[in-house]
Amino acid sequence: MFKSVLVANRGEIACRVFRTARRMGLRTIAVYSEADANALHVREADEAVLIGPAAARESYLDAAKVLAAAKATGAEAIHPGYGFLSENADFAEAVAAAGIVWIGPKPSSIRAMGLKDAAKKLMIEAGVPVTPGYQGEDQSLETLTAEANRIGFPVLIKAVAGGGGKGMRKVDRPEDFAEGLASAQREGQSSFGDPRVLIESYITRPRHIEVQVFGDSHGNVVHLHERDCSLQRRHQKVIEEAPAPGMDQITRDAVTAAAVRAAKAVDYQGAGTIEFIADASDGLKADRIWFMEMNTRLQVEHPVTEAITGVDLVEWQLRVAAGQPIPLAQADIPMKGWAMEARLYAEDPANGFLPSIGRLDHFVMPDDIRVDTGVMQGGAVSQFYDPMIAKLIVHEDSREAAAARLADACREVEVWPVKTNAGFLARCLDHPRFVEGDVDTGFIAAEEGTLLAPSHSDLPVAAALSWANERFVDAAYSKDIWSESPAHLFGFRLNAGTRSARLPFQQNGVSRVAEATVLDRGPDWQTEYVVDGEPLDYSDLDEGGSLPTTYGDGPIRVFMDGEISVFDFSAPVFGLNATSASDGGLRAPMPGKIVAALAKAGDRVVKGQPVVVLEAMKMEHALTAPFDGVVAEFNVAVGDQVVDGAVLAVVKAAD
């Protein structure tokens, strides 16, 4: 076994690999960009090397710099994590040529599975069923359009070098094909340096099933059962689980056998995942499940497989890379209980899931489950990298228990001022359809109205008013009329008659008014609140369960059910409800680069029509016309770097 390992990655996966490496007694080495100088993975490593500026192409994607860092530190092995250089066959070859152990599959295996079109051809030869579609060399618009028409709409356009949902577009109508193709090609070029695409028939009720496989240098290949990753948003996985709901043993045997055949076809070594798409319109059936692609690396969702098997997949990676055989035979790999993982993203579901960046002044995760993260309180979420900040993982005896526990965990998340999808995740896990296992990749889009609606409980308001008592009452009464405990809204002490006050405040920038009345209730005094004309129900404040918690010395932040409400009692300001686009201005929601100008000054546009496309945090964001009108100003050009809030274009309402 080698004695040291460099992780050519950052964030959560770097911390994850370090955890196992330390347990095995290995020296750990981190690489980092200027943006990550104070990152958690840098702090946790035994040694760390700066490899370049914040932009990934100048640091984490620069193979020469990573290799130089390995040589300078005497690293005996390199673990690539996932993303960045993890599926770069040239980098794998360069590592081996330098006499350093590559913790991953052989370069030939990476190349064989790296391009989706070539991989499909190889799988057909290996007897693995594949999705009907087109994966030809002719990439002309005419040919691709003709093939899409032959396959029949809807179709799915996929970058041949893609992954993680990037470079992927669903197109429902022939007239939208050219625009969808151009967008997929742009994102394929930007993310992977390859604009080529393939086209697949779009399965109307798809399930995403994948099988964890593992191979070694002794000719052994095993599977570690399946995972279900069907709960997705725009082709990005949101919640993963193992095993797959509704999978009977006959279907499981067929799918896992196909996965092992696929791995053997490329002489696979190390950890890999064979991804399948299933037509779930009539349940899971072996003859309705097709190969999609292979990820020649460790997957983000590997913890759910670890949970049901009891296997440390990173340890297996290290041992197999050192030449050891797979530790367990196929018959000895267990499948116990049910595991689920939720991806906690720094994003704002209420604002189109736009990534949220900035300093993590408050970062509290549930403490009784597995949490894999690469950030910490006081750290920051950067605009330069993927917005996933943690993975919440649970393992229970049943699927129902796992979903309930994970929902509770999501509700316990407290992050400020960066926004997260924690409340959205909890609502997904609580949804009756999800609990019943009635899930496909269109679930979130179909149920979006329910899933995006936050709780309308009065408890956050009640908690904020309670916490603010001593602050806003001084202006009208002496402090001794209020309870000494800010966690209760009753038990006040007062020596005179009933008193009341009008208390204007803001909740998340929206102006509201509370009427507070202190009432004589015999030997005790109590307070009644009326907010915006409606009596406030705070009866559950003392009943346990999912109660609000508060944080902050300025504006009061109340966390409940994975959501945050910010209350300001000090300087009420009215009229803050206008949306950012109410004046027709299309403003950059975050710093980024302009990658497409879809209109120009003087063009007529209709509501919802894309006007300009911004690339930020490795994803494209189309800014659309807020109403029918004319583009009065177009202030940017393709290639421009823009700051948060910059007015990119202005649309004037049609006469």
Catalytic residues: 297
Measured from the Cβ of residue 325, the count of other Cβ atoms closer than 10 Å reads 13
Q: Residues 405-412: contacts with CB within 8 Å, 24+ apart?
A: 405/369, 406/239, 406/340, 406/341, 406/342, 406/369, 408/366, 408/546, 409/342, 409/366, 409/369, 410/342, 410/344, 410/562, 411/546, 411/560, 411/561, 411/562, 412/364, 412/365, 412/366, 412/562
- For the chain, the maximum distance between any two Cα atoms, rounded to a whole number of angstroms, is 89
Q: In whole angstroms, what is the distance from residue 536 CA to residue 619 CA?
A: 42
Q: In whole angstroms, what is the distance from residue 602 CA to residue 598 CA?
A: 12
Task: Give, to the nearest 10 degrees, the angle between helix 107-114 and helix 116-125.
Answer: 100
DSSP state of 385: S
**Pairing verdict, β 133-134 and 47-52:** unpaired
Q: In whole angstroms, what is the distance from residue 323 CA to residue 188 CA?
A: 35
H or E segment and range at residue 225: strand 221-233
Q: In whole angstroms, what is the distance from residue 188 CA to residue 620 CA?
A: 11
H or E segment and range at residue 414: strand 414-416
Return the SS3 of 202.
Answer: coil
| Burial (CB count <10 Å: 0-12, 13-18, 19+), residue 643 | exposed
Q: Which amino acid is at 352?
A: G
CA 292, distance to chain mean position in Å, is 21
Q: In whole angstroms, what is the distance from residue 229 CA to residue 293 CA?
A: 14
3-state helix, strand, coil in the chain (%, to 5): 30, 35, 40
As a three-state string, the secondary structure of 542-603 is: HCCCCCCEEECCCCEEEEECCEEEEEECCCCCCCCCCCCCCCCEEECCCCEEEEEECCCCCC
Q: In whole angstroms, what is the distance from residue 156 CA to residue 48 CA?
A: 42
Query: What is the distance between the terminal CA atoms of the chain, rounded to a whole angstrom?
Result: 74
Residues in the chain, overall count:
655
**Residue linked to tokens 């009635």:** 438
Return the SS3 of 518.
Answer: strand
Cis ω before 349 (30° cut-off from 0): no
| Burial (CB count <10 Å: 0-12, 13-18, 19+), residue 140 | exposed
Q: In whole angstroms, what is the distance from residue 163 CA to residue 171 CA?
A: 18
